[in-house]
Structure 1
Amino acid sequence: MSSTDPAEHGYSAERARLLADPDTTGPQRRAALARLTDDWLAALHRAAGGPARTALVAVGGYGRAELSPRSDLDVLLLHEGPLAADLAERIWYPVWDSGVALDHAVRTPGEAREVAAEDLKAQLGLLDARHLAGDPQLTADLRSAVLADWRAAAPQRLPELRELGLSRAERHGELAFLLEPDLKEARGGLRDLVALDAVAATWLADAPRDGLDAAARTLADVRDALHLTTGRATERFSLQDQDQVAERLGVLDADTLLRQVYRAARTVAYASDVTWRSVDRVLAARRPAPRRAARFGFPFNGARRAPIGPAAPERRPLAEGVVEQDGEAVLAQAARPATDPVLPLRAAAAAAQAGLAVGYATVRRLAAEAGPLPVPWPDEAREQLVTLLGAGEACLPVWEALEAEGLISRMLPDWERVRCRPQRNAVHRWTVDRHLIETAVRAAAMTRRTARPDLLLVAALLHDLGKGWPGDHSEAGEVIVRDVAVRMGFDKHDTDTLALLVRHHLTLVDTATRRDPDDPATADLIAKTVGTQTHLELLHALTEADATATGPAAWSSWRASLVATLVERTAARLAGDARPPAADAEVTADQERLAVEAARTGAPALALTAHAETPSDGGEPMGVELTLAIPDRPGLLGTVAGVLAVHRLTVRKAGLRELDPIGAGPVLLLSWTVAAEYGDLPEAARLRADLRRALDGSLDVARKLAERDAAAPRRRGISTPPPVVAVAPHDASRSATVLEVRAHDAPGLLHRIGLALDGAGVRVRTAHVSTLGAEAVDAFYLTSADGRPLEPEHAERVAGAVRKALEAR
């Protein structure tokens, strides 16, 4: 059957005129195209005749009146009772003859609901049902019934809808990072917008709406222009079409347009993440709690007692001003973002280290109320940034949340130049900004390879900032990172190191693949470039992190082998240039006084003094200097560290040395910088009393810590690289054996190390303990009972004991 109805030709001509009109674009054109199509189909329905109880219904994208130039028409012919055999054909044939793609169905209301109950995609289409022609009551009744079915089945259907989205994302990737994205199917695309509307229709949750309408318009406008440019119903935004699409939309160039698309996709993806977490909480709250006996839950006659009210959500401390609630990190009730500029980073770091997301309302509040970080940054701000980056994969959703609310660009203004910046190179998998954070994620797995994990993580985050500027990005990046590092509060030596890493982050790969590795001049060149063994270790780790974060084509076993060989030969050139451990600072008058007091009394002498750095608002100090003098005895390091852990004190920096101030026997002097995990610092008198009790045996520190760990709720946490415990080369010290420990910091870490060393029967003559972000980098100078360095076999057994103690956590 064919149609020569003039209405068909009139529709085609009017549709062509509308699509060619340069003054009708965007939502205006989509709505006009939908109205034009509505009128045409309504006329076809009237001309077809048929029973009164029929209705023509637009569903899916057409139901939302979102018609792109090459969109399919999704139409349902709804009826009650028998239909003439050719009634539907009298409507469909003119549409087919016009060349417009048609997806059609003929069903009764009952059949439509049955199909929807079996087919999620069909049900989603019916949620957007819109009346076109015929009996409007028939359409209204179907729409009401479908919405009621959807809400009733939400606990079963929403997980199915989420799984559908995850499957699409796995097949099509993330729109915000693809050079040739699928505007509809990729994560953050138009399909996700439909899913968000479907969630909202359940009345269980709704998406954050800020920016969502603008994002939807951007994606739809680009799809329209793509259809008009290619003349095809394609959703793939191919490289070959991007320049023409940008020109059609009046955008400067294809890169500018891609950045707009990426920003829109990130808005949609972030809204999806927030919405699905909300759905999870609502569905979890609706699941029936397991029945159990309760002392006061029910009267003795067995009748159920009416609940008094909803239970208060459980809140568990994570850090100062940050708690866990309903599986998210949120602000504590006493938190005051306006007077605590480090709070955004502290909340982010605590969330990432616990493997949690930051609550949407929390991020919004931080963005609205938190003030700018002072310049230079406080020490705590740098530590929290490093702690956030050191969380590895768990950092990503937290970073995205901060970025969505503008907090990243506020802390790092240079970030805005690389945000959503595409990289037109098939080797690169990510936009520039996402590549930077992905490099930091991979660097987090390599922190055991260097004594300065903090510099490795920060260099990974900043190494490509120069791509937002003209010229060689490594040279531009060196200039930028010097400025950023000074603003972050790094000293000159660390700033120079970061600048060197950024300037030469491609040097190892370029040299290893382009120069003769057997030529001694090749290793000499790298040795001259890096200068020290520490710089070489950092550059090697950064090189690998950068390459593996770029994409599979950027790193291979062959390249890894070439770089490793070059690093090994360069290390041999630098063998005599390793910097010795920092010398102990001079003993101050106060420290000498404490040592004399401990030697005379035989009891611990302790002093707590405020750290030199205090918050800008004049509040409580962020840390204290703890100086402790104790007559030497076995088990001292583990006992003291355990007492600090009991009081929830985190050791940021520590030094230990042996003195004999009055010739009455050795006294250990411990000079530590400590901070409270959260809450107030303990009183010095209470800390001193617990130290005495631990030393005389009346306080079992190990049992106390074990009880606290057993009572604490099990958090998901994060995976971290395994600890590294190694005996340094024999020439590291002439008078002691140096044991180096690199591990992820955790409550009681130093206590476990101390217990292992005590159990191995060695003396800790000197210790240098540093916590850089969430990474512990420690060195212990050990001797046997007679004061001599350990024999090699003994040293390896001690290292094994410490390693076992840390891995047993």
Structure 2
Amino acid sequence: MTSTDVRNEAEDSGPSGYAAARLRLLQEGARSGPPRRLALSELTDEWLSGLFTAGTEGLRGVSLVAVGGYGRGELSPRSDLDLLLLHDGADNAAVAALADRIWYPVWDLGLALDHSVRTPGEARRTAGDDLKVQLGLLDARHLAGDLGLTASLRTAVLADWRNQAPRRLPELQELCAERAARQGELQYLLEPDLKEARGGLRDATALRAVAASWLADAPREGLDDARRRLLDVRDALHLATGRATDRLALQEQDQVAAELGLLDADTLLRQVYEAARVISYASDVTWREVGRVLRSRSVRPRLRAMLGGGKQTAERSPLAEGVVEQDGEVVLARAARPDRDPVLPLRAAAAAAQAGLPLSLHAVRRLAGSVRPLPTPWPAEARQELVTLLGSGRPTVEVWEALEAEGLITRLLPDWERVRCRPQRNAVHVWTVDRHLIETAVRASEYTRRVSRPDLLLVAALLHDIGKGWPGDHSVAGEIIVKDVAARIGFDRADVTVLSTLVRHHLLLVETATRRDLDDPATVRAVADAVGSQSTLYLLHALTEADALATGPAAWSSWRGSLVADLVKRVAAVLAGEEPDEPEAAAPTAEQERLAIEAVATGSPVLALRAQTEPPAGEQPPGGPEPLGVELLIAVPDQAGVLPAVAGVLAMHRLTVRTAELRSLDLPDGVDGAVLLLDWRVAAEYGSLPQAARLRADLVRALDGSLDIAGRLAERDAAYPRRRGWVAPPPRVTVHPAASRLATVIEVRAQDAPGLLFRIGRALEDADVRVRSAHASTLGANAVDAFYVTGAEGKPLPAAEADAVARKLEEMLRG
């Protein structure tokens, strides 16, 4: 069926015909994107024009006008209809009746309608008071009635906009900034709002408004295509959900990708991010131009008066060879020759970042169009300029984005293409892979005084996740890639080895510190063997912190920092030639001994809570010590089921377990009985800590069987909201036989849930193994817990028995 056939059907059958023709159009698989939006707009135009004509009955001086998105002809399947009934004020009663004859059929079909009835004067006054109304009128399009009335309003609104631009454009910029602060940046969000987020459709519309002011214009290259791509995604989202939504939720991304004929949801997100980057960069450039024009308009008349008139030229201040600052931007010097100077892009970028200034669009495009490729290996100057750029702190981000917008980054580092705009489907990560790498370099620039080779730290920060663009373990893939990239950049063989070690082991410190027993000599020796030298260890320590801080707020804490610092101290001692001491049963402290004696005397558990506030790495954080959690000491007469009972009670009270150590305590002479001592670190999920008396009372009930922990936790788990259309990856349990000589290490990776540690503890009790210590780590929704277990005699489990325990534990978690 052609567009003409569809429109004829709509005209012949009235509202029901329009509804049928509209449905037929939306179901046509062969037509999508701009052709379908245009056809839907034309179909709606014909229908509304028919309603208008049938209701006028000789009425003059009135017209029907489409504004906003409908005015631009951008009707998505569930878009609002933005309509203005414009009249000359001659017959208000007749106009009101006409409005009813148009609005009610639209409502009867269940279509969303944003409508108004105004005279031209009222429309202009409203636009003068409400910026959003004025933006909608800039896209006014005549549908039916008095064409001259519509044309005169359009002419007047555009004239008002251009005359008021010096006042309205800063207001529009502030509106865009407020919206970005609320909605975030589209190019990094896992569930982005295609319209409201920064770099979305609203920003694209704002750029059209700036262009209409004649004060400045956006870079046009790629902008229309980016806008079209976001509109196509919104169309598919409306069809997939059947709702008027602009939020691309996780559970709908696969369906939207299929609707668009894309491979998968990651491909969809990458296309969305690329489009958003084009719009965001165009916005940055445009608003800088607006600010420059407005400043020049206010300053130039005064300068001319002071200097006696005449044309003034903006002053140019040299920044580096071939690079100058002009009017708040970094531009190329007149004598610069990009075709003869392959280092110029990096030199200009480093100069801009060091000065805290943006690279001009003209300069970047000139570099992209004429610069020669760097030789392999790079000259020393190019490598130094890259390091300078990476070490410039926060200004690095904007400069890097300018280079990337014109394709210069992938020319310098071809492997960058695989991580560019690559989403990270992990709630812990707040950035795409490429932006995370830049953020890590920004963070690492704060630690350059802590290491002997700041250049290696910064380059490792830039490349540590470069392997995420390849299948398999990204650390392993990254090690291979970095060896090639580092040699190409011009590092010598020894430096290449250090960089590849840093990338290969960039997760080693934090994973070991939070998931292994630091008192076990095997733990410390394994890290020392992997790192190789103290200088590399300190580089890795700085990279670990920078990486975690650049990941997101859930990836780092004072508690993690203190554990990593403790591990680094122990490993540094081994690398200096010291041998780690074999762990011995520590003599109980006075408090532990007191609790144990009381537990034996009462025959019931005794506990104490104590806050921990030691800062990591011997440094006080800003504002004083930050609590690392709470030390929970529990002395319990030795009996079965202690671990699951304690874990279950803590889960009931919404306490997160960070580390857990269990051991039998030797009592003083004259005191009979066996006591288990639990030395745990816990933290409240939210709110304040429960009272110790309440914890003890529930623990007593849990141990005597009168408290149904499993039932209580099941009720709480059932109340947890479930994410529609998403299934958590299956749990995985592995045995690490070489991780310790003193115990068998069993590692559990699973979806975090209330009572997870309780379920694991009960399963280990059922397997007749003793838990020596537990090390819990939670990153977003993922729990990674390591358990040091032994047999009844206190020795590591035989391999076959350890594998059997792991299989049973995994089966329990899957069930």
Secondary structure of 1:133's aligned partner:
strand
The corresponding residue for 1:266 is 277
Deviation digits for residues 592-616 of structure 1, max 9, x if unmatched?
Answer: xxxxxxxxxxxxxxxxxxxxxxxxx
Secondary structure of 1:114's aligned partner:
helix
The corresponding residue for 1:186 is 197
Secondary structure of 2:378's aligned partner:
coil
1:75 and 2:83 matched = yes
Aligned with 1:107 (options 94, 118, 129): 118
Using the aligned pairs only, state the percent identity: 71
Amino acid at match of 1:153: Q
Deviation digits for residues 743-772 of structure 1, max 9, x if unmatched?
Answer: xxxxxxxxxxxxxxxxxxxxxxxxxxxxxx
The corresponding residue for 2:649 is none
- Give the Å deviation of 1:575: 3.3
The corresponding residue for 1:87 is 98
The corresponding residue for 1:492 is 493
- Give the Å deviation of 1:293: 11
Secondary structure of 2:254's aligned partner:
helix
The corresponding residue for 1:396 is 397
- Give the Å deviation of 1:26: 0.3
- Give the Å deviation of 1:294: 7.8
1:204 and 2:205 matched = no
Secondary structure of 2:315's aligned partner:
coil
Aligned with 1:7 (options 4, 14, 21): 14
Secondary structure of 1:357's aligned partner:
coil
Mapped partners of 1:288, 1:379: distance in 2: 43
1:47 and 2:66 matched = no
Deviation digits for residues 102-131 of structure 1, max 9, x if unmatched?
Answer: 100000000000000000000000000000
The corresponding residue for 1:252 is 263
Mapped partners of 1:27, 1:313: distance in 2: 43
Relative to structure 1, is the Cα distance of residues 293 and 327 closer, same or farther in structure 2, using a 3 angstrom cutoff?
closer
Q: Which has the larger displacement, 525-534 or 66-75?
A: 525-534
1:159 and 2:170 matched = yes
Amino acid at match of 1:520: P
The corresponding residue for 1:19 is 26
Deviation digits for residues 245-288 of structure 1, max 9, x if unmatched?
Answer: 11111111111111111111101111111111111111111114
The corresponding residue for 1:64 is 72
The corresponding residue for 2:451 is 450
Amino acid at match of 1:349: A
Amino acid at match of 1:175: L
The corresponding residue for 1:539 is 540
Relative to structure 1, is the Cα distance of residues 291 and 49 closer, same or farther in structure 2, using a 3 angstrom cutoff?
closer
Mapped partners of 2:324, 2:342: distance in 1: 17
Deviation digits for residues 623-646 of structure 1, max 9, x if unmatched?
Answer: xxxxxxxxxxxxxxxxxxxxxxxx
1:354 and 2:350 matched = no
Mapped partners of 1:293, 1:99: distance in 2: 61
Mapped partners of 2:25, 2:292: distance in 1: 46
The corresponding residue for 1:618 is none
- Give the Å deviation of 1:289: 5.1
TM-score, normalised to structure 2, is: 0.68
The corresponding residue for 2:253 is 242
Amino acid at match of 1:34: S
Deviation digits for residues 568-602 of structure 1, max 9, x if unmatched?
Answer: 1212223359xxxxxxxxxxxxxxxxxxxxxxxxx
Relative to structure 1, is the Cα distance of residues 293 and 5 closer, same or farther in structure 2, using a 3 angstrom cutoff?
closer
Mapped partners of 2:13, 2:484: distance in 1: 70
Pairs within 5 Å for 1:288-303 = 288=299, 297-298=307-308
Deviation digits for residues 44-84 of structure 1, max 9, x if unmatched?
Answer: 11111162100100000000010000000000000012322
- Give the Å deviation of 1:292: 8.1
Mapped partners of 1:223, 1:486: distance in 2: 44
Amino acid at match of 1:46: T
Mapped partners of 1:394, 1:411: distance in 2: 20
Amino acid at match of 2:258: E
Secondary structure of 2:330's aligned partner:
strand
The corresponding residue for 2:40 is 33
Amino acid at match of 2:88: E
Mapped partners of 2:447, 2:14: distance in 1: 69
Relative to structure 1, is the Cα distance of residues 557 and 134 closer, same or farther in structure 2, using a 3 angstrom cutoff?
same
- Give the Å deviation of 1:523: 2.1
Mapped partners of 1:387, 1:498: distance in 2: 17
The corresponding residue for 1:469 is 470
Mapped partners of 1:319, 1:502: distance in 2: 32
Amino acid at match of 1:188: G
The corresponding residue for 1:633 is none
Secondary structure of 2:318's aligned partner:
strand
- Give the Å deviation of 1:5: 10
Secondary structure of 2:506's aligned partner:
coil
Mapped partners of 1:435, 1:292: distance in 2: 45
Aligned with 2:109 (options 98, 105, 123): 98
Secondary structure of 2:414's aligned partner:
coil
Gaps of 5+ in 1: 299-306, 578-809
- Give the Å deviation of 1:448: 1.1
Secondary structure of 2:339's aligned partner:
helix
Amino acid at match of 2:86: L
Mapped partners of 2:304, 2:200: distance in 1: 49
Secondary structure of 2:63's aligned partner:
strand
Mapped partners of 1:182, 1:139: distance in 2: 33
Deviation digits for residues 343-382 of structure 1, max 9, x if unmatched?
Answer: 0000000000000000000000000000111000000001
Deviation digits for residues 444-498 of structure 1, max 9, x if unmatched?
Answer: 1111110111100000000011111111110110000000000000001110000
TM-score, normalised to structure 1, is: 0.69
Deviation digits for residues 541-590 of structure 1, max 9, x if unmatched?
Answer: 0001111111111111111111011111212223359xxxxxxxxxxxxx
Mapped partners of 2:320, 2:205: distance in 1: 38
Q: Which has the larger displacement, 145-154 or 528-537?
A: 528-537
- Give the Å deviation of 1:86: 2.1
The corresponding residue for 2:612 is none
1:557 and 2:558 matched = yes
Relative to structure 1, is the Cα distance of residues 533 and 201 closer, same or farther in structure 2, using a 3 angstrom cutoff?
same
Secondary structure of 2:215's aligned partner:
coil
Aligned with 2:206 (options 179, 195, 198): 195
Relative to structure 1, is the Cα distance of residues 8 and 343 closer, same or farther in structure 2, using a 3 angstrom cutoff?
same
Pairs within 5 Å for 1:428-447 = 428-447=429-448
Mapped partners of 1:119, 1:68: distance in 2: 25
Equivalenced residue count is 564
Which of structures 1 and 2 has the larger relative contact order (alpha carbons within 8 angstroms, sep 6+)? 1
Mapped partners of 1:564, 1:219: distance in 2: 46
- Give the Å deviation of 1:97: 0.5
Amino acid at match of 1:387: T
Amino acid at match of 2:463: L
Deviation digits for residues 475-528 of structure 1, max 9, x if unmatched?
Answer: 110000000000000001110000000000000011101111122332222222
Relative to structure 1, is the Cα distance of residues 563 and 413 closer, same or farther in structure 2, using a 3 angstrom cutoff?
same
Deviation digits for residues 638-686 of structure 1, max 9, x if unmatched?
Answer: xxxxxxxxxxxxxxxxxxxxxxxxxxxxxxxxxxxxxxxxxxxxxxxxx
Pairs within 5 Å for 1:323-722 = 323-575=324-576
Amino acid at match of 2:129: E
The corresponding residue for 1:124 is 135
- Give the Å deviation of 1:6: 4.3
Pairs within 5 Å for 1:709-748 = none
